[in-house]
């Protein structure tokens, strides 16, 4: 189990344009309720998916986006800050800021590929690159089907570097009765891979 001081400098939470925007929002909500400081990054494609899947239209400015998400998810504004994807002076852009945890949920195949090749072309890719070079904990929740050999090779390459690949593949053995339960099944896995105490999380054999 992680010590809360492990999150002293916060965590980077990114959403990209794969299907499953609800996973990202729920993750931000759960981290907010756990009083963990979040640096939130949302790709342009993720904004399109948020509108398509959940009718959520995010404000353009990063400050307003952070405030909107805090209100929408009912979490404290002081712990949640949004950044533009070209904000190279933000904490997520440098290893010296001391952030050692990052989650990308959902993670598109495009972002996955760019992380696997070290593109660092926007703040999400750069923050992931920082996490890998600094030996931090990087957790990706990819979503695509079927998976091509390109996708699988990128995932294998990253997994071999120690990146946690947690695909958006909820189980059904707990007999979910709602989409919210399926979403929580996956978000529980993200929380437990971050080492955060998981109130209500379902465990095999539990």
Ligand X SMILES: Cc1cc2nc3c(=O)[nH]c(=O)nc-3n(C[C@H](O)[C@H](O)[C@H](O)COP(=O)(O)O)c2cc1C
Interacting residue ranges for ligand X, rule: CB under 6 A: 16-19, 43, 45-46, 48-49, 52, 108-111, 143-144
Shortest gap between Cβ of 49 and ligand X (angstroms)? 5
Q: Output DSSP code: residue 145.
A: S
Give whichever of 32 and 142 is closer to ligand X, judged by the CB atom: 142
Give whichever of 49 and 166 is closer to ligand X, judged by the CB atom: 49
Taking the C-alpha atoms of residue 3 and residue 172, their distance in angstroms, rounded to an integer, is: 31
For the chain, how many residues are written?
206
Shortest gap between Cβ of 26 and ligand X (angstroms)? 17
Taking the C-alpha atoms of residue 112 and residue 117, their distance in angstroms, rounded to an integer, is: 9
Give whichever of 14 and 196 is closer to ligand X, judged by the CB atom: 14
Shortest gap between Cβ of 128 and ligand X (angstroms)? 11
Adjacency order of strands within the sheet including 11-15: 80-82, 38-42, 11-15, 101-107, 137-142, 164-165
Give whichever of 108 and 198 is closer to ligand X, judged by the CB atom: 108
């Amino acid at each position: 189990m992680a010590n809360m001081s492990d999150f002293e400098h916060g965590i980077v939470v990114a959403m990209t344009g794969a299907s499953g925007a609800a996973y990202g929002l729920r993750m931000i909500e759960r981290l907010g309720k756990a009083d963990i400081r979040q640096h939130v990054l949302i790709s342009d494609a993720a904004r399109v998916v948020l509108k398509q899947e959940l009718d959520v239209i995010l404000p353009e400015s990063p400050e307003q986006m952070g405030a909107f998400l805090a209100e929408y998810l009912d979490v404290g504004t002081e712990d949640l800050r949004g950044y533009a994807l070209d904000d190279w002076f933000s904490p997520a852009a440098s290893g010296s800021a001391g952030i050692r945890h990052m989650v990308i949920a959902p993670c598109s195949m495009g972002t996955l590929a760019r992380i696997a090749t070290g593109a660092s072309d926007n703040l999400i890719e750069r923050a992931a690159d920082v996490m890998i070079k600094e030996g931090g904990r990087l957790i990706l929740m990819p979503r695509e089907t079927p998976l091509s050999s390109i996708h699988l090779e990128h995932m294998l390459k990253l997994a071999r570097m120690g990146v946690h690949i947690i695909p958006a593949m909820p189980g059904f053995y707990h007999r979910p009765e709602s989409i919210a339960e399926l979403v929580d099944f996956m978000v529980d896995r993200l929380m437990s891979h971050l080492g955060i105490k998981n109130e209500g999380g379902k465990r095999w054999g539990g």
